[in-house]
Amino acid sequence: MRAVAGRPGGGEAAGEGSAPRHERVLVIGLGVSGRAAADKLLREGRKVRVNDISDSEELRLAGRALAERGAEVVLGHHREKVLEGVDLVVVSPGVRSRLPLLREAEARGIPVWSEIELAWRYARGPVVAVTGTNGKTTTVSMIESILRKTGMRARAVGNIGYPMVAAVEEMEPGDILVVEVSSFQLFYVWEFRPRVAVLLNVAGDHLDWHRDLEEYLEAKSRIWMNQGTGDQAVINLDDPLCVEASRTAPAGKCFFSRRAAREACVFREGDKVLFRDPRGGRTLEVMKVEELALRGEHNLENAMAAAAASLLMGAASQAVREALRGYRGLPHRLQRVGERDGVSFYDDSKATNPHAALRALSAFTGPVLLILGGRNKGLSFRELAAEVARKHRRGGIRMVYLIGEAAEEIESAFREEGPAVPRVILPGLEEVFADLPGRAKAGDAVVFSPACASFDRYRDYRERGDHYQKLVRYYLGVEGGG
């Protein structure tokens, strides 16, 4: 892995409760996180300039609201003149690190922070941070549920839908923030130090944003780079890239595994999940595997990671068991939508990369009618096609629908890796549902796990998933068309 110490950092002490001293701040990217960062900085009396490449009506309205509070708003370009007079840049997660404006800021010695780095400077309690290619939101939600069941004040924030920089405004001293963090956000952290840092898994993703897999892994590894005495990193022992990344973890390590591995502190042994405290103490039973309500080995991994993080934060073992036993999952994450005539429907619209789709397929023994497609994020579909072909040979997948912008690219992967898999290319979900009556049979599961981003046709995975669920309801006869 490449060293990460070469980029300029924050240049000032940080930690729970410390705040930045920079007075003139440029916020790049006026999405949800960027707006929250600008709002916080204005509340702190900083001089704020906001900049976005877009000048859409939505951003003009957002910019107008910030301008009324004293911000300078520059939309429609990323020209270097926006750097004039600033001593800090705060960047939104959707802005690519290769943006020339960011490179110019670094060349001028201007610190570049992500929104979570800014938020960290204001935090007044411990932070649990969760990253990984897939499963972040589910795991963050599980941890929040466990900690609350124990009686702790915990809130899930970050990419789960509420910016961390907004949450710190509402914190009471000692409140725990459980933060979902992406590789985009971690790329520009310098002092961010979670009490517990979780790395769930690493697979090729966002290679349209990162230069290569090595840079992506490096960014993920920054989650624990500032940890010290008393901190813990929770790491997937069954994922080779996670194990490789773990070599850079400077503090305590707690591995989790679906095997009874000697190195693991949370592991499966027979039908039980056990916890062996890495700080010493006895081994205790967390729960029976069958008690977990969510389908799939990937959700077992998420649950083990959540159990490890929560127990390391002081959660009671009974609270872990009760919270995980009652956890029913989140929308668009292998969500069971309904059933008609023995055909069940699952919405996994959050699967925006091939690795996520592979994990979803592990939850089904078949037969499955699989829907793939959308916009590719610079990733290969060959491994997914090969696994679908293997499952098809064993009766696990009957056919595949290919839709959207990436349909031909996925079809090419199937020609190479699974030419015998029955498949059809269609424009979109409407055409899939028009075709289903002649294909779906009792016992089938129709699984929408697209392995692609949604941006060819939808605003985000939520809008795409909502559309899928509306079509399911119409197919089931519980909602009118139109």
Q: What structural domains and CATH numbers belong to the chain? A: 24-110 (3.40.50.720), 118-325 (3.40.1190.10), 335-474 (3.90.190.20)
Higher pLDDT, residue 36 or 212: 36
Rg of the Cα atoms in the chain: 23
pLDDT at 8 over 50: no
How confident is the prediction for the chain on average, in pLDDT? Answer: 91
pLDDT at 17: 47
φ/ψ of residue 201, rounded to 5: -170, 160
Q: Note if the pTM is more than 0.85.
A: no
Q: Are the CB atoms for 432 and 401 separated by under 8 Å?
A: yes
With beta carbons less than 8 A apart as the criterion, state whether 134 and 180 touch: no
Query: Residues 323-352: what's their mean pLDDT?
Result: 92
What is the distance in angstroms between the CA of the first residue and the CA of the last residue of the chain? Answer: 52
Give me the mean pLDDT over the 34-38 stretch: 96
Question: How far apart, in whole angstroms, are the C-alpha atoms of residue 224 and residue 248?
Answer: 8
Question: What's the confidence (pLDDT) of residue 482?
Answer: 41
Cβ contacts of residue 445 below 8 Å, gap of 6+? 343, 344, 345, 346, 364, 366, 367, 368, 369
Q: Residue 24 and residue 205: Cα distance in Å, rounded?
A: 34
pLDDT score for 95: 86
pLDDT at 207 over 60: no
The helix/strand/coil state of 408 is helix
Q: What angle do CA 256, 258, 264 make, to 5 degrees?
A: 35
Average pLDDT over residues 327-336: 87
**Average pLDDT of 366-383?**
94
Q: Is the link from the previous residue into 367 a cis peptide, with omega within 30 of 0? A: yes
Nearest to 196 by CA among 158, 233, 157: 233
Number of H helices, E strands in the chain: 16, 20
Task: List 400's β-bridge partners, or say none.
Answer: 370, 423
Q: Is the separation of the CB atoms in 453 and 460 below 8 Å?
A: no
Confidence bin at 310 (pLDDT 50/70/90) = very high
| CB crowding 231-267: b at 16 or more within 10 Å, else e | bbbbbbbbbebbbebbebbeebbbbbbbeeeeebbbb
- Give 27's strand partners: 50, 90
Is the model's pLDDT at 19 over the cut of 70? no
258: tokens are: 């679906």
What pLDDT sits at residue 18?
56
CA torsion, points 252, 255, 260, 266, in degrees to nearest 10?
A: 80
For helices 317-325 and 297-312, the axis angle rounded to 10 degrees is: 150
What is the structure's pLDDT at 209?
A: 53
Contact 471, 430 (CB under 8 A): yes
pLDDT at position 345 is 97
Residues 6+ apart with CB under 8 A from 63: 30, 50, 52, 71, 73, 75
Of 5-14, 243-252, 377-386, 412-421, least confident by mean pLDDT is 5-14
Phi-psi region of 69 (alpha: psi -120 to 50; beta: other; left: phi over 0): alpha
Residue 458: band (very low, low, confident or very high) from pLDDT cuts 50, 70, 90? very high
Q: What is the dihedral of CA 347, 353, 357, 360, to 10 degrees?
A: -70
